[in-house]
Amino acid sequence: MESLKSVTGVAVAMLRDNIDTDQIIPVPEMTRSTEETHERWGAGLFAYWRYIKDREPNPDFILNKEPWNRATILLGGANFGCGSSREPAPKALRGFGFRAIVAPSYSGIFFNNCFRNGIVPVELPMATVELIASQVEASGGAGLVTVDLEKQEVKAPGGEAFPFKTPPALRAMLLSGLDEIDQTLLRKAEITDFQSKDRSKRPWVYAPGLES
Amino acid sequence: MAAARTYFDKVWADHVVADLDGQSQLIHIDRLVLHDWTAGWIMPGFAKAGRKVANPDLVFTLVDHLIDTRPGRTRSQSNAATGTEIIETARKHITDYGLRFFDIGDRRQGIAHVVAPEAGIILPGMTLVCGDSHTCGNGGVGALAWGIGNSEAEHVLATQTLPQSRPRTMRVTFDGGLGKGVYAKDMILALIGKEGANGGIGYAMELAGSAIRSLPVEGRLTFCSMAIEFSARTGFVPPDDTTFEYLAGREFAPKGAAWDAAVRYWRGLLSEDGAHYDKEVHIDASALRPHVTWGTSPEHVLGIEGRVPDPAAAPNAEVRRQHEKALSYIRLTPGEPIAGVPVEAAFIGSCTNGRLSDLRVAAGILKGRKVAEGVQAVCIPGSASVKREAEAEGLDKIFKAAGFEWHESGCGLCADMGNKRFADQRVISTSNRNFEGRQGPQTRTHLASPATVAASAVTGRITDPRPMLG
């Protein structure tokens, strides 16, 4: 798994609420190839908004403009990543170059998927996100933002630092980049023990269609 | 005395394998459902890494997402560019690992969240995950079920567990009785309209009240399938006699003494009086009308007598911008009555409204009537079993005589799986998402109940179904 400790870069503001994963990457972009590369996923990001026809860039879309096309941090609105569970949504964001999102809230499935794809989804109040966005925009994008997962702190272009919290287990996984399955398999004895106790309590779970 | 506990508290506690960090736990997953798209993506890497399936008996696999639904399909036929390849990759690895598989042609094939309850795969008090956000629909039988990403699916396949943060609890109570022509779909749309598309973030939602209790299990499944459109982690209806009657005797439900023991256990899970919920919502079910969406988020919803909102009247600048963007996509005018808007297509199907009771309601309206000229109308039964039962009742003949196409089961047409049937059209749909482009390029989707969709197909305009119900 890809690790992340801190990212400093251009932050782009897309402050609409309820940006759904069908917009982040539409189904036809997911099915057009079975390749697993950053380039492939990144090219599908926001395809409906970003391209006029197939791959012809829409000049009005923010990610097609300098300097926002180099953004590594996305400032978003409430319920970012709602809708479909598709993991290609964070893959497309990562493929484009994003390593952090700062938004007031996320849909749960998307939030969990981010940590497994090298992206930290940071929760900060909308007023803070708007403040950071206004400083970035006032600087024409030259004012960089830092998202530091080790310190759990976002630094705005003006220098103010905003602390944030992430679930400790997911944070540790993203900081270390260790394989999550291997980590859980270290607990195999606990899982076996749980199942053996549970099997006597709920035998029908372990033998679908159990007759007795 | 111990504090009173909710249904959620008890089910969660019975699945904690280990505490991870005080906020999240390693949760046991009782059922993993893999569909073609998830299996086709994760299993090659899983096999290459030499991983073992932790509990093959607890894994169910099927084909639903990428398969074409048109009559006469072959077993890997897909409209998506790499669809056939992914289906065949899934089939190969599922077979190599010897997992239980409801392939195309199997009597039990169908949309994952239709198949799981109807085959008794999912039962009350269980946890179930699947690589599809509408997995939460399984909550209709009192399960905790939610959608996951591919990495999480691989994790469950290898460990039968998932690290999860514990959600907060919400209880949504629908009191009163539903009026004629008002269904579970209208209830969940009304809830999302009232509380917003992000009203459920971070919550496990328990459903309560007389209107929920009087819903048949299929209506409860409809309601819970759209818990994700409310951005809830999951939604569920604690089981009762209606649930037990529905599940008894199904293929993978326990039988005999094992069934009796299960029912005793399930009854013990019910929420206790005085249990604490982090949030409570009350809705008067008797005041509900048929609902239909006007925009590009499920919260953009109206009663059937309503008018398209004017962005100028929005409560704040952000909502105004959103409404303007939605109206520009959906091509409606502020103040226009939603009833009467012409539609070019009608769709009945999906994990939300593709069950037998949905098809019966629609057929009740379509019987002796015809789909309006120029409207393409498609019905996709939610599972092979739903299709068989519908055909045994002659519903297929009613749909076809009215001018509907009658398809094989699958997810197609709820999302844009490649056939572009609804490209640039306005569709009245029983599906669950009205996002931009969801059902095809520039497709403008209006979500509604099967009754409203059938009535609108007949008139060619968004139509209140109540006068057409027998």
What pLDDT, on the 0 to 100 scale, is given for residue B2?
A: 79
Share of chain B above pLDDT 70, in %: 100
Q: CB-based contact (8 Å) between A142 and chain B?
A: no
Question: Residue A194: helix, strand or coil by DSSP?
Answer: helix
In tens, the pLDDT along B14-38 reads 999 999 988 899 999 999 999 999 9
| Mean per-residue pLDDT, B374-389 | 98
In tens, the pLDDT along B197-240 reads 999 999 999 999 999 999 999 999 999 999 999 999 999 999 99
- pLDDT beyond 70 at B165: yes
What pLDDT, on the 0 to 100 scale, is given for residue B356?
A: 98
Q: CB-based contact (8 Å) between B419 and chain A?
A: no
Average pLDDT, chain B: 97
- Nearest-Cα distance to chain A for B21, in Å, is 6
Tell me how far apart the alpha carbons of residues A149 and A102 are, in angstroms, rounded to a whole number.
12
- Nearest-Cα distance to chain B for A47, in Å, is 11
In tens, the pLDDT along B279-320 reads 999 999 999 999 999 999 999 999 999 999 999 999 999 899
Chain centroid to CA A145: 17
Q: Where are the alpha helices (DSSP H) in B19-58?
A: 36-48
In tens, the pLDDT along B93-120 reads 999 999 999 999 999 999 999 999 999 9
What pLDDT, on the 0 to 100 scale, is given for residue B174?
A: 98
Q: Where are the beta strands (DSSP E) in B96-180?
A: 100-102, 127-130, 144-147, 161-165, 168-175
- Nearest-Cα distance to chain A for B24, in Å, is 7
List CB contacts (< 8 A) between A107 and chain B: 198, 201, 228, 231
Tell me how far apart the alpha carbons of residues B23 and B19 are, in angstroms, rounded to a whole number.
8
In tens, the pLDDT along B55-84 reads 999 999 999 999 999 999 999 999 999 999
Tell me how far apart the alpha carbons of residues B326 and A47 are, in angstroms, rounded to a whole number.
18
What pLDDT, on the 0 to 100 scale, is given for residue B1?
A: 60
Q: Which residue has the tokens 């969406």?
A: B293
Q: Which two tokens stand for residue B233?
A: 């982690």
What pLDDT, on the 0 to 100 scale, is given for residue A212?
A: 81
> What angle do helix axes A168-176 and A108-115 make, rounded to 10 degrees?
30
| Phi-psi group of B145: left, alpha or beta (phi > 0 → left; psi -120 to 50 → alpha; rest → beta) | beta
Inter-residue contact B142 to B125 (CB < 8 Å): yes
Q: Where are the alpha helices (DSSP H) in chain A?
A: 21-24, 27-31, 38-43, 47-50, 88-96, 108-115, 126-138, 168-176, 180-185, 188-201, 203-206
Q: Which two tokens stand for residue B29?
A: 């997953």
Nearest 10 degrees: Cα torsion B317, B320, B321, B324: -160
Which one of B148, B149, B198 has the shortest CB-CB distance to A78?
B198
Rounded to 5°, angle at Cα A36 from A33 and A41 = 75
Phi, psi dihedrals of residue A87, rounded to the nearest 5°: -70, -25
Inter-residue contact B353 to B431 (CB < 8 Å): yes
List CB contacts (< 8 A) between B150 and chain A: 87
Partner-chain contact A85 B133, CB within 8 Å: yes
Tell me how far apart the alpha carbons of residues B42 and B345 are, in angstroms, rounded to a whole number.
35
Which one of B54, B233, B255 has the shortest CB-CB distance to A211?
B255
Tell me how far apart the alpha carbons of residues B446 and B220 are, in angstroms, rounded to a whole number.
21
Which of B15, B35, B123, B133 is best to mutate for the A interface (most A CBs within 10 A)? B133
In tens, the pLDDT along A139-194 reads 999 999 999 999 999 999 999 999 999 999 999 999 999 999 999 999 999 999 99
Contacts of B97 (CB under 8 A, 6+ apart): B43, B47, B53, B56
Tell me how far apart the alpha carbons of residues B290 and B305 are, in angstroms, rounded to a whole number.
9
HSE-up of residue A162 (Cα within 13 Å, Cβ side)? 22
Tell me how far apart the alpha carbons of residues B211 and B283 are, in angstroms, rounded to a whole number.
10
Q: CB-based contact (8 Å) between A182 and chain B?
A: no
Tell me how far apart the alpha carbons of residues B343 and B445 are, in angstroms, rounded to a whole number.
10
Contacts of A134 (CB under 8 A, 6+ apart): none
Tell me how far apart the alpha carbons of residues B99 and B34 are, in angstroms, rounded to a whole number.
10
Give CA separation, B323 vs A120, B248, B259, B308, B318, in Å: 30, 47, 51, 10, 9
Give CA separation, B263 vs A18, A199, B254, B368, B450, in Å: 40, 16, 10, 44, 32
Low-confidence ranges of chain A (pLDDT < 70): none
pLDDT band with cut points at 50, 70 and 90 for residue B419: confident
What pLDDT, on the 0 to 100 scale, is given for residue B62?
A: 98
Sign, Cα dihedral of A36, A39, A40, A43? positive
Which of A48, A91, A204 is best to mutate for the B interface (most B CBs within 10 A)? A204
Tell me how far apart the alpha carbons of residues B260 and B241 are, in angstroms, rounded to a whole number.
13
| Mean per-residue pLDDT, B382-409 | 98
Contacts of B462 (CB under 8 A, 6+ apart): B292, B304, B338, B339, B340, B341, B343, B428, B446, B448, B452, B456
Share of chain A above pLDDT 90, in %: 98
Q: Which residues are bridge partners to B300 per DSSP?
A: none
